Structure 1
Amino acid sequence: MAQSDEGVDEIEQIVVTGSRIARRDLTSSSPVAVVDAEQYRLSGTVNVEQLLNTLPQVIPGTTAFSNNPGNGAATLDLRGLGAERTLILVNNRRYMFFDANQITDVNTIPAALVERTEVVTGGASAVYGSDAIGGVVNFILKDDFEGIEIGTQYDITTRGDADRANIDLTMGGNFADGRGNAVLYMNYFDRDAVMQDARDFSFNALLDDFDENGNPALVPGGSASVLNGRFSGPLDNDVNRALRPGLTTALDNAGLTGLGGLGFLPGADGQTATNFRNPEDLFNYAPDNFLQIPQERWMIGTMATYDITDQMEFYAEGSFANNRVITELAPTPITGNFLFNVDSPFLSPAMQEVLRQADLTEGTITGTVRDDNGNLVNPGTLTLADTAGDGQTSLSIGRRLEEVGPRQNSDERNSWRVVTGIRGDLGDFSDTMFKNMRYDAYYMFARTLNTQRQAGNVSRSAFQAALLDNSLNIFGPNITEDAADSIRIAATNVEESQLQVASGAISGDIIELPAGPVGGAFGFEWRSTSARFSPDTALSSGDVVGFNAGNPTAGGYDVWELFGEVRVPIVADLPFAKNVEVNGAFRYSDYDLENVGGVWTYAGGVDWSVSDDLMFRGQFQRAVRAPNVQELFGGQAQGFPGAIDPCSDQFTGEQTQALRDTCIASGVPAANVFGAIQPNTQIQGLFGGNPDLEEETSDTFTIGAVITPQAIPGLSVTIDYYNIEVDDAISVLGGSLNNVLDLCFNEIQDINSPFCQAVNRNPGGDIGEPNFVEVLNANIGKFETDGIDLQINYSMDLDFGLLSESSSLDFFVLGTWVNNFDITPVAAIPERIDECAGTFGNTCGEPLPEFKTNSRVTWRTGPLNLSLRWRWIDSVKDDQLLNEGTVAANLAVPKIGSQNYFDLSATFDVLDNVQIFGGVDNLFDNKPPLVADSSEQANTFPGTYDVLGSRLFFGATVRF
């Protein structure tokens, strides 16, 4: 607080996130949650996502535990609407993003330099532009720093692993007789890897099955691509066996009587074989996956200000971050059809005869007759070309190439950002209008270059060649090191993203009214966004087996914008109306995208301060998000999301005749419908961009109250209702691969629908290499969510203390109730709604509890602060119960119970300039809840639930 010449307190005007207009208080028209620097210290946060992902308004995005899926970045997702709909700001300006999705990796924001973080949920495009549909997270960094500060922290779990080491150095000082200030900060962070086999709950890959009593249960599972190879193809098709009399005899002689649809396994000697039919045959891929991914980070940055004149200040920011992150998967599973020599020296005579009998090329089947159960009655006729003379046949294989080693993906991201600008006072233009005018203009340039190196890949063409020249024996554990070297291939991908912003604005008091000045802000902004992804040639050609293939991405666009805000006081100092203000904002954006063009966003609201004790507030905002570069121009790439094929025995819903007919029409042989055609819990999809996308629009409505009772000093309560609707939402076709399957086979049941046309099957009816579900980007239906946020702060003085005569007690509660979160995956079918509030699973994804709270009580006594945090996550149920018509009795884990975590921490000021701190997170060592087919990874949801157990942290800060 500054003193005026008359000796009356003059309150300095400030800018609150969500507006560009300076105000005299910290009250915002939109709900704002503030996380200050002390919260980072008390929670032992060195990566900002550690703390912010625990906020009730945030659904965890990618985190330190995101290995598969994962990209080595840390992202924030407000309201569960997606990280691409959450705008990240640093000092009220856009920050750099790390990929073509235009998402910020918050690993690049220095936690030690954060003074506070302001979280505004709901559309804010009128103020900040595109990407703010879910809301804004604004990191306010410490500036005007003088001295030297060194901070260190070390973390380790009570099991002695998952080490994290962090060191920060901040230096600053004034120059030019106090007209300027410069700050330099540096950071080094190192995080050790933890493998999934380091914890009992993630040691085995679990799947949903049944116990010996026929009850649903979690059982050890894994992948059908196994260590010694699994072989199928024409051997296990009833039509082929009926038309090849010699094949059945050969199979019987080889000990493969009654061979099932999943094929046979070779013995350890590679010459004998057994049927693949037991769960014990599956490969447990879990131990080869990271539970905590390793990270090494270097950051350096600077901030400087200089008063050119008393009315003009030059400012600059610069930052550079080098992030190195590794993800690891189990050895490459190679699948698909390959040619084999029928006289392979690696096989016994009996197995050679099996291949010899299968050495026939199929023609056209006619007159096939089946009974009502799909069993073959009359095979009809089939023209066969006798090609036994070529000595080769085709088999479908599933072989885990352990001899090549695990698959590792190493990302090295170099990100840098530069901001330069001028700001200052324009003064008063007249005695009655345009007073206290200020200006701010800046230019920002940011670029991220990611070099991605892959190991553990295999060349498909080299693999095929090695099979035919008999240098590669995949029957049993018989691949030599030389053979492994001959098929091993590395891959390098390069990804670059770039953002430029030029912006200018003026703000101040436009005119004086009886109730006070009318505040306004007006300006312009130009943004240029571009990105490119250059995959390795071998990877983009599809020859690489291991990591997903992808095609090049390149594109960008520019946008010119005009914006304005106004805040008008209506009445002041009246009974039941201490202050009433209305506000409005607009932004016109002109994109050089044909399907977007010029768009308007706007906002309006009212603040009604009844008295010093009570204020009501309400706000409406229309927001727009233009499609990002990846959504528009992304090359096609493969992915393996969790999903259930309704035509397989994994499906637990009703097996109707209409479903059966749709399955057959989609390419499932009648005898295989509802059979073992889905060996894994993941289904291969083809994802990619769509240049014909249009913009998303959203409407956000909030209404709430701020209660600060004068009769209870130190207490403040805010309660706000929010309602957000996003139309023409951009997502993959149908909203998810699992949705596409559900819409095709359970809802629409028309083979000519775009959803059924997206499903491509192999001859046996399975979905996999080389056939996928095509789920390219589209403007789908809409997202709708509403709920209530509650925040309580209370501070009270105590007349006793531990290291002092008195002390104080601070209470803080932040909670959210989600009433609804509905997804309409197809605008043309408005009655088809995926209900996601209070659920988790393959359709809705990360758990979205109805209730979530984050509470803290801190006792301050002299130099000591003791703090206890309680994190409560409400129970959630499998989304199949709401969206796919199944019942709880069919699921091993129909519900995840509520989870409670307690964290204890302390800070102690040893000297005025020395502070030590420490604590334990997850004090009672709670284990994560387990799910299988509906999990994200590691048999749970590692972003939501603690997977490491109790974690100890301790550190110190010294300032000179």
Structure 2
Amino acid sequence: MNRFSKGTLLAGTIMAGAMIATPAYAQDEDAGASVQSGAAENSDGDNFIVVTGSRIQQKNVDTAAPVAVVAAEEFELSGTVNVENVVNTLPQVVPGTTSFSNNPGNGTATLNLRGLGTNRTLVLVNGRRWVSFDTAQVVDLNTIPNFLLESVDVVTGGASAVYGSDALAGVVNFNLKRVEGLEMGGQYSITEEGDGASYQVYGAIGTSFDDGRGNATVYAEYYNRESVFQGDRAFSNFALGGETFGLNLLQFGSSTLPNGVLRYTGGANSNTGLPPGTEFGNAGESGFGNGVVFDDTPGDFRFRTGDTYNYAPVNYLQIPQERYLMGGYADYEFTPGHTAYTEVTYVNNRVQQELAATPVTGNFNVDLATVQPFLIPGDFQQLQDIDAAETAQNNADGVADDPGVVNFFVQRRTIETGARNSLDERNAFRVLAGVRGDITDNLFYDAYYSYARTRNANVQAGNISRSAFQAGLDGTGTPINIFGLGTLTPAMVQAISIQAQNGDISTQEIASASISGFLGNFGMGADDVGFAVGAEYRGVESRFLPDTALSSGDVIGFNAGNSTEGKYNVRELFAELNVPIFETDGGQRLELTGAARYSDYSLDAIGGVWTYAGGVEFQPIDQVTLRGQYQRAIRAPNVGELFGGQSIGFPGANDPCADPANANDQTVINLCQATGVPAGNVGDPNIQLNAQIPALFGGNPNLQEETSESYTFGIVLQPNFAPGLTITADYFDITIDDAVAVAGGSLQGLLDLCYLQIQDINSAACQAFVGTRTGNGAITVASPPLVGNANIASLGVSGVDLEINYTTDVAFGLFEQDSRLNFNFLGTYTESSFFVPVVGQPTTVECAGLFAGQCGEPTPEYKWTSRLSWIDGPLTTSVRWRHLDSVDSEDSILVDPTGGIDYTSFNGINTIDSYDLFDLSFSVEASENVTITAGIDNVFDTLPGAPEFDAAGNVTNRPNSLLLGDNQEQANTYPSTYDVLGRKFFVSAAFSF
């Protein structure tokens, strides 16, 4: 009968919080076994196991590639219910989307190994592919039952030769345990502020039957996490920004005012005779008219400190989640040496995102007679003056004119509609059936079929219909009053509001069969040569189904998108060899490994491709092991990258044509003119209408595979003079070529490529902007640039993983005469983490030690997690220390090898200081069947500091470097990397019978 005992706790705390690169020894049968089907037993009773990173059954668990392990007890000692919260603290991982990803975010939790992208990390459960959740074919970690975890294995570097596509950064394998008896429990946590509570209840029952020939486990879980709003924390209550444009850090809010703004962007560009500098009102003056502003004066538009809308408080800081999870697995030896097995899981996840009221921006036709009742005479007269000037000029030019109608750039935050809310309800299930057994004493087979599907229903509330809003201004619908605060009546709100719905379905089908065994040995004390050969079929299909309003672009509030539908399959043959050369009584050992896989894709642009790997382990003495491996891996583009419908997005970006620094740069001026910016407007900040610039993003069915080369070299030291001490160090180097990326890596990258780097109007980068600008040179939703996918980028990472693990007996204790201490440390030094937006161009983005811009999440050069545990009888006391080194912003990361151009793009918060968190936990075996665990996360309540403002809205005090401005991701910081909830308490109870 399995239970949470001191013995298992000890074994776990040896590895807790760290990824162990030393051998992960298989458990004895009476201590519980993994569900992984590769584990088999031959007729002589010898246990063969399969370790992550190989399909070969073997006795020796050492591997040429470092396999790091997180034990199940780490989840209990850290008070973690969701898998993401432990995995994201590991130094090999850069956080993907998390429970703090509200905007951007999609309600999932993803894994981003080495910072190379969630779609380049292969996630397995029990050694097999798990269910994905969208067209990107990425696994949502919320679907993995943490209470059943036996261990989590992480393999660095490409592993496509063993597992197929997607394993460019590495493989993370979640091993579930087999249950004997009844296990049940629960956990509750809450912050010191009394919010953000979460609770979990779970149960699992397992039993053997038919004289031990069969075993079955069934389980269920309910989990609920409450929301926390940005307004609930002082540091995130105000949206900060401004310093990117050379201003002080200030309460930035939004350029979309709640009292309505009209900007006339025609001016000289529409030949009205009104120069761009004409001022129809001053945005900085409070109490001006109804709040309607006509302004084309440089410097007046971008910041209105007293008038801006603070959108931050109503955004989620922690997104709420509700989860129901159930499933089971079983195996039965239907005839001696042959076992049938099955796995079934079902997960229902409900996750919400919440944003501030919809910001309406864009050009709209305004019918003067329709809006006249809502305007004071002075403001209405200005509208009439503009209309008269346009009419006169159009008549003189012989151009058709619509008298009484003027096209304005409109900005209005529709606070009367309330917040925008996006609810995702994902239903995922997976079924698997297989058979394994012995062909001979040294030959085994394993074959299975699995089918997985995720269906998501997304309901959006708080959106505005662009067509209805337009109709409210041009007289064809219910007239709307956007001028002034709270002027939209309930009837007006109803007339312009629209609910939108998305649906997406993703399926995965796998059929796999393999034969493994042993071929004899070379003598010299070596074990038998192991091998595995097999074939696999995988088919993937995904659909994204937006409603008509979303696909047409009529929705304002959440990003519009066209439908996506596509599928492909791959047929593969693979083989592995494990060749022990010699092993002596003195501890000397040499072992070689190799693997190869041929994959035939149904995609014409890919066809047939090879992946392969080779490794070596050499033990010159019994205290030292040297190891190394080379792997060539691939990733086939996912359905979204291939077949994604074009959709509009609004990424934050800076238009070089609006940068005053380029006003006298003739090369930039010429390029801006060639793409539609009037010469006199180059360098005018007003031609960038918002901090977010609209752009179209979409798929490319002609994409080819990505390829990677990875090297690992390491040493394992287990000195005899220090029993219980293990030190491992592994160097890793991963380079990915032909990487799929939007041109330039982002809209900002594409802008920089065209106007600052390539500077050739005939280049693809510059052609993306031709014909996209309005009369004054602005980029608007009317004709956004297309930023498409292509195999144009390169990226990579290199560095060193270091682990120190030490366990020793102590000759005293409170509950027993002797106790035990164990300490482990796992750190990563990131030597390089680079991104080349377009291969062949002189731009390399180096992100080691940097954050923001194209680097995104902080990538510290040094990062570690360590744990010190004292096991004294039934009580375990444990302290965890998490450290992130300081990071700088992307000020000078765009490197020009010629030294001729300074690509500095940010002037904001330049440094985040070193960061340390300490967690304390206690675990006690209250009885043979009951274990109680309690703890405090973030003991010293390390949080971003609350800003202080002067009367003008400038930040006068920024207590610590975690509080950012324009260089933030969200909530004025990076909430998936740095703690934003503060001190948190948890307690859990586990029962086993």
Instruction: Calculate the TM-score normalised by the size of structure 1.
Output: 0.92
Q: What are the residue-to-residue correspondences of 1:540-619 with 2, within 5 Å?
A: 540-573=551-584, 578-619=588-629
Q: Distance in 2 between matches of 1:799 and 1:11?
A: 37
Q: Distance in 2 between matches of 1:883 and 1:217?
A: 24
Tell me if 1:392 matches 2:400.
no
Instruction: Give the conservation status (yes or no) of the 8 Å contact 2:663–2:683.
Output: no
How far off is 1:680 after superposition?
Answer: 3.6
Match of 1:376 in 2: none
Q: Distance in 2 between matches of 1:782 and 1:475?
A: 49
Instruction: Give the conservation status (yes or no) of the 8 Å contact 1:848–1:876.
Output: yes
How far off is 1:282 after superposition?
Answer: 2.4
Q: Distance in 2 between matches of 1:493 and 1:679?
A: 29
What's the secondary structure of 1:112's corresponding residue? helix
Percent identical residues: 48
List 4+ stretches of structure 1 deviating above 4 A.
238-242, 262-277, 360-366, 651-655, 884-890
Instruction: Give the conservation status (yes or no) of the 8 Å contact 2:890–2:905.
Output: no
Deviates more, 1:640-649 or 1:157-166: 640-649
What's the secondary structure of 1:746's corresponding residue? helix
Q: Distance in 2 between matches of 1:359 and 1:307?
A: 85
Q: Distance in 2 between matches of 1:240 and 1:566?
A: 73
Instruction: Give the conservation status (yes or no) of the 8 Å contact 2:48–2:58.
Output: yes
Deviations 1:252-307 (A, max 9, x none): 8xxx35x6xx8999857467989756333322211121100000000001011111
One-letter amino acid matched to 1:306: Y
Cα 1:362–1:909, aligned 2, differ >3 Å: closer, same or farther? same
Q: Distance in 1 between matches of 2:94 and 2:312?
A: 25
Deviations 1:363-416 (A, max 9, x none): 9999xxxxxxxxxxxxxx98364746x422211101111111211110000000
Q: Distance in 2 between matches of 1:412 and 1:648?
A: 42
Q: Distance in 2 between matches of 1:234 and 1:821?
A: 43
Match of 2:124 in 1: 89
What's the secondary structure of 2:700's corresponding residue? coil
The equivalent position to 1:459 in structure 2, one of 439, 442, 465, is 465
Cα 1:76–1:181, aligned 2, differ >3 Å: closer, same or farther? same
Q: Distance in 1 between matches of 2:651 and 2:595?
A: 41
Q: Distance in 1 between matches of 2:318 and 2:460?
A: 19
Q: What are the residue-to-residue correspondences of 1:34-45 with 2, within 5 Å?
A: 34-45=69-80
Match of 1:823 in 2: 835
The equivalent position to 2:397 in structure 1, one of 376, 380, 383, is 383
How far off is 1:951 after superposition?
Answer: 1.0
The equivalent position to 2:94 in structure 1, one of 42, 45, 59, is 59
Q: Distance in 1 between matches of 2:241 and 2:595?
A: 52
One-letter amino acid matched to 1:87: L
The equivalent position to 2:912 in structure 1, one of 878, 890, 896, is 896
The equivalent position to 2:637 in structure 1, one of 627, 640, 662, is 627
Cα 1:726–1:364, aligned 2, differ >3 Å: closer, same or farther? farther
Deviations 1:524-573 (A, max 9, x none): 10001000011011110111111111001001001100000001112221
The equivalent position to 1:122 in structure 2, one of 157, 161, 180, is 157
Cα 1:855–1:887, aligned 2, differ >3 Å: closer, same or farther? farther
Cα 1:2–1:74, aligned 2, differ >3 Å: closer, same or farther? closer
Q: Distance in 2 between matches of 1:521 and 1:839?
A: 43
Deviations 1:34-56 (A, max 9, x none): 00011111111100000000100
Tell me if 1:775 matches 2:775.
no
Q: Distance in 2 between matches of 1:546 and 1:309?
A: 61
Q: Distance in 2 between matches of 1:382 and 1:845?
A: 52
Q: Distance in 1 between matches of 2:467 and 2:500?
A: 15
Deviates more, 1:709-718 or 1:619-628: 709-718
Match of 2:975 in 1: 942
How far off is 1:331 after superposition?
Answer: 0.9
One-letter amino acid matched to 2:191: T
Cα 1:268–1:92, aligned 2, differ >3 Å: closer, same or farther? farther
Tell me if 1:309 matches 2:335.
yes
Tell me if 1:327 matches 2:340.
no
Cα 1:241–1:356, aligned 2, differ >3 Å: closer, same or farther? farther
Instruction: Give the conservation status (yes or no) of the 8 Å contact 1:233–1:263.
Output: no
Q: Distance in 1 between matches of 2:334 and 2:293?
A: 85
Q: What are the residue-to-residue correspondences of 1:559-958 with 2, within 5 Å?
A: 559-573=570-584, 578-649=588-659, 656-676=665-685, 677-759=687-769, 760-829=772-841, 831-883=842-894, 891-928=907-944, 929-958=962-991
Tell me if 1:530 matches 2:563.
no
How far off is 1:609 after superposition?
Answer: 1.3
Cα 1:511–1:281, aligned 2, differ >3 Å: closer, same or farther? same
What's the secondary structure of 1:358's corresponding residue? helix
Tell me if 1:497 matches 2:506.
yes
Q: Distance in 2 between matches of 1:66 and 1:349?
A: 46
Tell me if 1:243 matches 2:273.
yes
Match of 1:369 in 2: none
Deviations 1:873-903 (A, max 9, x none): 0111111322277699973311111100111
Match of 1:230 in 2: 261
What's the secondary structure of 2:383's corresponding residue? helix
Match of 1:79 in 2: 114
Q: Distance in 2 between matches of 1:288 and 1:335?
A: 20
One-letter amino acid matched to 2:76: R
Deviates more, 1:898-907 or 1:168-177: 168-177
Tell me if 1:346 matches 2:374.
yes
Deviations 1:145-182 (A, max 9, x none): 12111111011111111111111111111122221111
Instruction: Give the conservation status (yes or no) of the 8 Å contact 1:264–1:273.
Output: no
Instruction: Give the conservation status (yes or no) of the 8 Å contact 1:16–1:26.
Output: yes
Q: Distance in 2 between matches of 1:653 and 1:719?
A: 48
How far off is 1:216 after superposition?
Answer: 5.9
Q: Distance in 2 between matches of 1:817 and 1:632?
A: 35
One-letter amino acid matched to 1:800: F
Q: Distance in 2 between matches of 1:492 and 1:187?
A: 28
Q: Distance in 1 between matches of 2:692 and 2:576?
A: 49
Cα 1:506–1:665, aligned 2, differ >3 Å: closer, same or farther? same
Instruction: Give the conservation status (yes or no) of the 8 Å contact 2:615–2:629.
Output: yes
How far off is 1:720 after superposition?
Answer: 0.6
Q: Root-mean-square deviation (CA), in Å?
A: 2.6
What's the secondary structure of 1:775's corresponding residue? strand
Instruction: Calculate the TM-score normalised by the size of structure 2.
Output: 0.89
Q: Distance in 2 between matches of 1:2 and 1:156?
A: 38
Tell me if 1:198 matches 2:255.
no
One-letter amino acid matched to 1:414: N
Instruction: Give the conservation status (yes or no) of the 8 Å contact 1:230–1:264.
Output: no
Deviations 1:668-691 (A, max 9, x none): 333332222335433222111000
Match of 1:136 in 2: 171
Deviations 1:306-356 (A, max 9, x none): 111221111110000000000011111111111222232212233222222
Q: Distance in 1 between matches of 2:663 and 2:219?
A: 61
Match of 1:28 in 2: 63
What's the secondary structure of 1:512's corresponding residue? coil
Which is richer in strand? 1
Match of 1:412 in 2: 425
One-letter amino acid matched to 1:798: V
One-letter amino acid matched to 2:346: F
Tell me if 1:209 matches 2:243.
yes
Cα 1:644–1:239, aligned 2, differ >3 Å: closer, same or farther? closer
How far off is 1:136 after superposition?
Answer: 0.4
Instruction: Give the conservation status (yes or no) of the 8 Å contact 2:662–2:683.
Output: no
Q: What are the residue-to-residue correspondences of 1:432-511 with 2, within 5 Å?
A: 436-469=442-475, 471-477=479-485, 478-511=487-520
One-letter amino acid matched to 2:417: V
Q: Distance in 2 between matches of 1:423 and 1:688?
A: 43
Match of 2:7 in 1: none
Cα 1:663–1:910, aligned 2, differ >3 Å: closer, same or farther? same
Cα 1:890–1:62, aligned 2, differ >3 Å: closer, same or farther? closer
Cα 1:244–1:570, aligned 2, differ >3 Å: closer, same or farther? closer
Cα 1:263–1:599, aligned 2, differ >3 Å: closer, same or farther? farther
